[in-house]
Amino acid sequence: MNKKELVAEIAERTGTTKKLAAEVLDSFVAVVGEKLAKGEEVKLVGFGTFEVAERKPRKGVNPRTKEAIQIPGGKVPKFRAGKELKEKVK
């Protein structure tokens, strides 16, 4: 499912327009992104938790030259599914 299909499904289930559903989805994504950028986590009970994980620097190999390289660490967004979501997927 892509964003367009998700917006259409949300609009149909809520009885709103696709435009309003798209605005709500865009706002949700923006808020989650802003909170993660501040180092906060976003918990949605039953759905899951969005959080920031710290990645350590590691060694890698350049596939073209086969030369060893150092891959820098950093922060990456992470999602952990909640109990209810995991049960729905089973």
Give the C-alpha distances (Å, rounded to integers) separating 83 from 14, 51, 89.
24, 16, 10
Q: Place domain 41-89 in its CATH homologous superfamily.
A: IHF-like DNA-binding proteins (4.10.520.10)
Between CA 69 and CA 72 the distance in angstroms is 10
pLDDT tens-digit profile, the chain (90 residues):
999 999 999 999 999 999 999 999 999 999 999 999 999 999 999 999 999 999 999 999 999 999 999 999 999 999 999 999 999 999
Contact (Cβ atoms closer than 8 angstroms) between residue 51 and residue 64: no
Contact at 8 Å (CB) between 3 and 25? yes
Instruction: Tell me the one-letter amino acid at 84.
Output: E
Judge whether 18 and 9 are in contact, CB under 8 Å. Answer: no
| Total-model pTM | 0.80
Domain boundaries, the chain: 1-40, 41-89
User: Residues 52, 78: contact at Cβ < 8 Å?
Assistant: yes
Predicted confidence at residue 80, as pLDDT, reads 96
Tokens read off for 80: 């952990």
